[in-house]
């Protein structure tokens, strides 16, 4: 793109620049910023500024009528945050999200690790087929997966209850039962994300030197002991990293309940992000919704901070 | 990959494992590998099952969804569900929207992210540290946090329900910068110096020396960006208020939660339309994707 013309011009004035000495630094800055500017401008406008603006909005009662005149929104101080503390629906959403994370993350990682380990140590053939198969849901749209799973879990015409019925069991209404709805969504999330854990763990496992396993086996270690005393300690940084990444992802639960349950039944699957969306775009309480978003942001930042701390002490 | 064939057959002495019989052929294959195959295959069936159920469901005529008990296979395979998507509903339009947005973001990302990545890794300029710190700090910011301000911003710019409104914010993805900077750090300085000696300016060095050797990383970045934007939901949901600007996920979710929610055949057909392009990309490029993810440890 515009290569020859550009190049010719530079050859001409490159020589005086190099010997000039004084203008040199200034020229470096010009070139550096020319490379950086396109991204940095977009970044400032659509990412950095919104992050700051969101904080500001959370101290206002921004609503639909303020949309055309954002600066005129009424400042309400900490009112939104105070309201959040006494909002039972918010606590419910926070608790549901915690439930999803606390159960979903360990189950996803344990199954992902077991599959990675089986692929790495127990299997020599069909590795690619297994890898592709387990990874398939990760790259698939969550919306499509949620629509399909809603159909899979349908009490009358779904796959799961069809199979249970064939075994003589009357299957429950998975997504309509407040006690079963969240576990169903967790099962789906595990199904979707274990392939990601598997790929990262597989890379971690393959970087463990085979000599360690030889040494372990000379010392009389069986498969389980090799896993316990070689694999797990060597994989510690990867496990920590995956825990943080998965936790941050799961904290933002949204598409699954949006499509499958609309947050119900009885708010049993209402997540923090869903509550933010509902307040912000169904009721147009955008100031309040920004406060919800910021609470989630602080939680995510805290988890990311823990990663730094742990990983540093680990290295 | 093949680190398992261990080169120490003598180490497989019987004394090593008193509790269980020695492996038949040395150490190459651990004893419980048959169990691994069985479990992995069973797991694979669980992974593929819902996809199969989706495809079969999309081919079922309406009567099949009234049967009790339901059947796995359609009584007659029909393409009616697909015809309805494309004739009665506006799926060609949604497909077009998704394609345009995902492609535009991918192209932009492939230009802007390597440029900044190169400047961060290989050039000296004032403000470099600040830019790098800012970009890295936003790597894990939840998408929800920028949603409301961006919506307000786009409303005031008149960009809600437009392609720029759905494309611009995604050109600022810090992941691509992170990925490209990591790659650029590994590019030997001698290579750049040689090109500079030959009289090339920085843009020439970047476009004709650095970019060509970055092809594998660029391929990974392109695929991850395309997939991420093809599947993106929350932001397009907010930013496309008119059906004409719906992307496929927004359209599917809207139909799935509206009057069509019991129309299983049509919803499965819609899911197939959303999933199949991704499956094709994945099967063709699976090596780039899994390696890219394994080395960076991040999703697109």
CA distance A270 to A91: 10
Grouping H, G, I as helix, E, B as strand and the rest as coil, residue B285 is: helix
Grouping H, G, I as helix, E, B as strand and the rest as coil, residue B254 is: helix
Q: Do B131 and A40 touch (CB under 8 A)?
A: yes
What integer pLDDT is reported at residue B45 of this predicted model? 93
Distance from CA of B116 to the nearest CA of A (A): 5
What integer pLDDT is reported at residue B141 of this predicted model? 87
Contacts of A296 in chain B (CB under 8 A): 142, 144-145
Q: Is B75 on the interface with A (CB under 8 A)?
A: no
Tell me: the pLDDT tens digits for B226-244? 999 999 999 999 999 899 9
Taking residues B283-297, what's their average pLDDT?
A: 68
Q: Is A294 on the interface with B (CB under 8 A)?
A: yes
Taking residues B279-300, what's their average pLDDT?
A: 67
CB B230 within 8 A of CB B103: no
Grouping H, G, I as helix, E, B as strand and the rest as coil, residue A279 is: helix
Output the six-digit token pair for A141. 């749209």
- Secondary structure letter of residue B186 according to DSSP: T
Instruction: With cut-offs at 50, 70 and 90, classify the pLDDT of residue B290.
Output: low
Q: A242-259 b/e with 16+ CB inside 10 Å = b?
A: bbbbbbbbbbbbbbbbbb
Taking residues A5-24, what's their average pLDDT?
A: 43
- Secondary structure letter of residue B209 according to DSSP: I
pLDDT higher for B75 or A43? A43
Q: Is the ipTM of this complex over 0.90?
A: no
Q: Is A131 on the interface with B (CB under 8 A)?
A: yes
On the question of pLDDT at B3 being above 60, the answer is: no
Distance from CA of B165 to the nearest CA of A (A): 10
Taking residues A42-68, what's their average pLDDT?
A: 92
Torsion of CA B138, B144, B146, B152, to 10 degrees: 180
Q: What are φ and ψ of residue A277, in 5° steps?
A: -60, -45
Q: Based on DSSP, count helices (H) and strands (E) in chain A, helices before strands.
A: 16, 0
DSSP string computed for B58-110: HT--GGGGG-SS--SS-SS---HHHHHHHHTS-HHHHHHHHHHHHHHHHHHHH
Contacts of B134 in chain A (CB under 8 A): 43, 48
> Which H/E stretch holds residue A274?
helix A272-277
């Amino acid at each position: 793109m515009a290569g020859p013309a550009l190049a010719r011009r530079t050859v001409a004035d490159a020589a005086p620049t190099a010997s000039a000495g004084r203008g040199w630094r200034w020229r470096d800055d010009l070139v550096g910023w020319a490379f950086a500017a396109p991204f940095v401008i977009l970044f400032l406008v659509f990412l950095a500024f919104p992050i700051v603006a969101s904080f500001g909005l959370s101290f206002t009662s921004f609503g639909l009528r303020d949309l055309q005149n954002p600066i005129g929104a009424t400042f309400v101080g900490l009112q939104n945050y105070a309201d959040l503390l006494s909002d039972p629906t918010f606590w419910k959403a926070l608790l549901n999200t915690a439930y999803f994370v606390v159960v979903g993350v360990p189950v996803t990682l344990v199954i992902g690790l077991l599959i990675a380990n089986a692929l790495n140590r127990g299997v020599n053939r069909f590795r690619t087929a297994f890898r592709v198969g387990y990874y398939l849901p990760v790259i698939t749209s969550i919306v499509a997966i949620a629509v399909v799973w809603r159909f899979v879990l349908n009490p009358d015409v779904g796959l799961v209850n069809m199979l249970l019925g064939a075994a003589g069991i009357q299957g429950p209404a998975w997504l309509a039962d407040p006690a079963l709805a969240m576990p169903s969504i967790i099962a789906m999330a595990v199904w979707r994300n274990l392939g990601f854990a598997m790929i990262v763990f597989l890379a971690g496992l393959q970087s463990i030197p085979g000599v360690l396993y030889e040494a372990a086996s000379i010392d009389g270690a069986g498969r389980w002991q090799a896993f316990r005393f070689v694999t797990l300690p060597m994989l510690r940084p990867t496990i920590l990293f995956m825990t943080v990444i998965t936790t941050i992802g799961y904290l933002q639960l949204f598409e699954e309940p949006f499509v499958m349950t609309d947050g119900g039944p009885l708010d049993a699957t209402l997540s923090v992000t869903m509550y933010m969306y509902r307040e912000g775009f169904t009721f147009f309480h955008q100031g309040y919704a920004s406060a919800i978003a910021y609470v989630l942001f602080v939680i995510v930042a805290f988890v990311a901070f823990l990663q730094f701390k742990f990983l540093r002490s680990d290295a | 990959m093949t680190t398992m064939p261990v080169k120490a057959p003598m180490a497989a002495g019987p004394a090593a494992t008193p509790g269980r019989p020695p492996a038949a052929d040395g150490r190459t294959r651990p004893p419980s590998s048959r169990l691994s195959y069985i479990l992995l295959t069973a797991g694979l069936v669980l992974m593929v099952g819902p996809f199969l159920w989706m495809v079969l469901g999309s081919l079922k005529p309406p009567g099949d969804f009234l049967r009790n008990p339901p059947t796995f296979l359609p009584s007659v395979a029909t393409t009616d569900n697909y015809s309805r998507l494309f004739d009665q509903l506006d799926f060609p339009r949604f497909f077009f929207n998704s394609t345009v947005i995902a492609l535009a973001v991918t192209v932009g990302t492939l230009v802007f992210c390597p440029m900044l990545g190169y400047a961060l890794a290989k050039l000296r300029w004032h403000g470099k540290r600040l830019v790098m710190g800012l970009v890295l700090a936003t790597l894990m910011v939840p998408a929800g946090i920028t949603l409301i301000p961006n919506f307000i911003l786009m409303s005031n710019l008149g960009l809600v329900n437009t392609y720029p409104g759905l494309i611009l914010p995604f050109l600022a993805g810090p992941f691509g910068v992170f990925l490209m900077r990591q790659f650029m750090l590994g590019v030997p300085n001698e290579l750049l110096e040689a090109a500079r000696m030959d009289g090339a300016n920085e843009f020439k060095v970047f476009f004709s020396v650095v970019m060509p050797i970055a092809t594998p990383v660029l391929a990974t970045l392109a695929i991850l960006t395309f997939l991420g934007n093809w599947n993106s939901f929350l932001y397009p949901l907010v930013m496309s208020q008119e059906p004409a600007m719906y992307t496929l996920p927004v359209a599917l979710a809207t139909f799935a939660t509206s009057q069509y929610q019991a129309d299983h055949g049509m919803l499965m057909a819609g899911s197939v339309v959303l999933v199949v392009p991704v499956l094709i990309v994945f099967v063709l490029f699976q090596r780039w994707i899994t390696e890219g993810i394994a080395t960076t440890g991040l999703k697109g």
